[in-house]
Amino acid sequence: MKPVVVLIGRPNVGKSTLFNRLTRSRSALVADAPGLTRDRQYGDGRIGDRPYFVVDTGGVVTGLATAKDREDVTSGVATQVRTALTEADTVILIVDALEGIHPVDRVLAADLRRLGKPVWLAVNKTEGRDPATVTGEFYALGFGEPAAISAAHGEGVEELIRRVLEKLPVEEEIEPDQSVPRIAVIGKPNVGKSTLVNALLGEQRVVVCDEPGTTRDSIHVPVERAGRRYVLIDTAGVRRRARIDDLLEKFSVLKTLQAIDQANVAILVIDAQVGVAEQDASLAGYALEAGRALVVAVNKWDAVESSDRDWAKRELERKLPFLDFARMHFISARDGTGVGGLFRSVDEAHASAQRAMATPKLNRVLQAAVTATPPPLVRGRRARPKYAHQGGKNPPRIVIHGNQVASLSKSYRRYLANTFRKAFHLIGTPVLIECRQEE
């Protein structure tokens, strides 16, 4: 489980600038897929061998600081910040060196002290200034030595995150058994995840101990079906007794991200009655970025009039063009229809993600693809892809060697990926193309 670092502070202190810096390592896959959005408040990063999640609480924090919102903890905005804080392993409070201590900083500091979690104080916008002088007044907030940073210029940021992570226990990364599909059922609130998890569990009576873990943990349930084993990662909390903290929303983006991390196949559930919304695309973006195999379940199909179904299918395909590699199922979790098909597609996606691709065949496919459609000229030069080999699995990664291959356009890389996809029957998994240039 990656540690969760939450950024908090008044508006304009530089939270989103810091967030962007801490989550730089985003995959080209998502950027390449037009129409895929992602939630800018949740991201992940890695420093050395230590991965982490980072949450930007956004400009909403003044809500927390007003008396009204502190009384009315159920107000959406304050709840969101509180949810993030509940899920945090550590908090970075950001203040603005140019403005000095602001009254809201003191209110936040007091709130955070009551939280009882490690809090780091980062004094931002300190570029070109002497750290000792500029941080001096901020000792008064009571979090010890403040870190002088410049989020915009990247100064002090790496050192800060290193220190933050050093204080957190290192969790051993146990390489999970990839031979068993580990399924995360993901989707917005109310799309029918809990109902689907129950349908996937079927008649099984699985004993799950109610471990005290934190609320952001998901429960992993072993499932057997038609003689095959699966692990179901229950983000919906179906298997947890209803003792969830009232303050926590039932839906947690972080819990979803952790589940995607731990899974090797994600089932993205979409509500047929609602259609595709931005949050669906954003969750798909996380799964894709993590390189997960994916199956789409359009749920509540029973509630769609038969005369509307063709239109509804076209509409979904039009809005999810970036998921055209994944199987789409039209199901009713409530009635249990289509569940068997989902398992078959999970198997297929899982097998595709793990596919071993022999080098001679990869090379034959590459040569045929390049002959059929040569790469276009870039500034008078033509890239010459020569060899291919498999660089990894989960998801399949194909490394292409040759002259000028670094200049291959996104659309040409997509063409190659689709060609390999067809040749090796890679269905339901992203395919990564990595170009290694020879000079």
- Binding site for GTP: which residues? 9-16, 56-60, 124-127, 187-194, 234-238, 299-302
Contacts of 29 (CB under 8 A, 6+ apart): 288, 289, 291, 430, 432
| Phi, then psi, of 197 in degrees rounded to 5 | -60, -45
Nearer to ligand GDP, 265 or 431 (CB): 265
187 within 8 A of 286, measured Cβ to Cβ? no
What's the N-to-C CA distance of the chain in angstroms?
Answer: 41
Smallest distance, ligand GDP to C-beta of residue 199, A:
8
3 within 8 A of 53, measured Cβ to Cβ? yes
The site for ligand GDP (CB under 6 A) is made up of 9, 11-17, 59, 124-125, 127, 150-153, 187, 189-195, 236, 299-300, 302-303, 332-334
Dihedral of the CA atoms 157, 163, 166, 167 (nearest 10)? -130
Smallest distance, ligand GDP to C-beta of residue 19, A:
7
31's tokens: 């950027």
Number of residues written out for the chain: 439
Smallest distance, ligand GDP to C-beta of residue 303, A:
4
Smallest distance, ligand GDP to C-beta of residue 376, A:
38
Nearer to ligand GDP, 298 or 366 (CB): 298
| Phi, then psi, of 75 in degrees rounded to 5 | -60, 135
Residue of 53, 73, 284, 307 lying closest to 191 (CA atoms): 284
Nearer to ligand GDP, 90 or 198 (CB): 198
Smallest distance, ligand GDP to C-beta of residue 275, A:
15
| Phi, then psi, of 313 in degrees rounded to 5 | -65, -45
Nearer to ligand GDP, 127 or 217 (CB): 127
408 within 8 A of 375, measured Cβ to Cβ? yes
Tell me which DSSP letter residue 69 carries: H
Smallest distance, ligand GDP to C-beta of residue 367, A:
47
* Amino acid (1-letter code) at residue 11: P
Residues in the annotated binding site: 9-16, 56-60, 124-127, 187-194, 234-238, 299-302
Smallest distance, ligand GDP to C-beta of residue 200, A:
12
Contacts of 48 (CB under 8 A, 6+ apart): 162
**Residue with the two structure tokens 């909390």:** 237
Nearer to ligand GDP, 150 or 419 (CB): 150
Nearer to ligand GDP, 218 or 299 (CB): 299
Nearer to ligand GDP, 59 or 118 (CB): 59
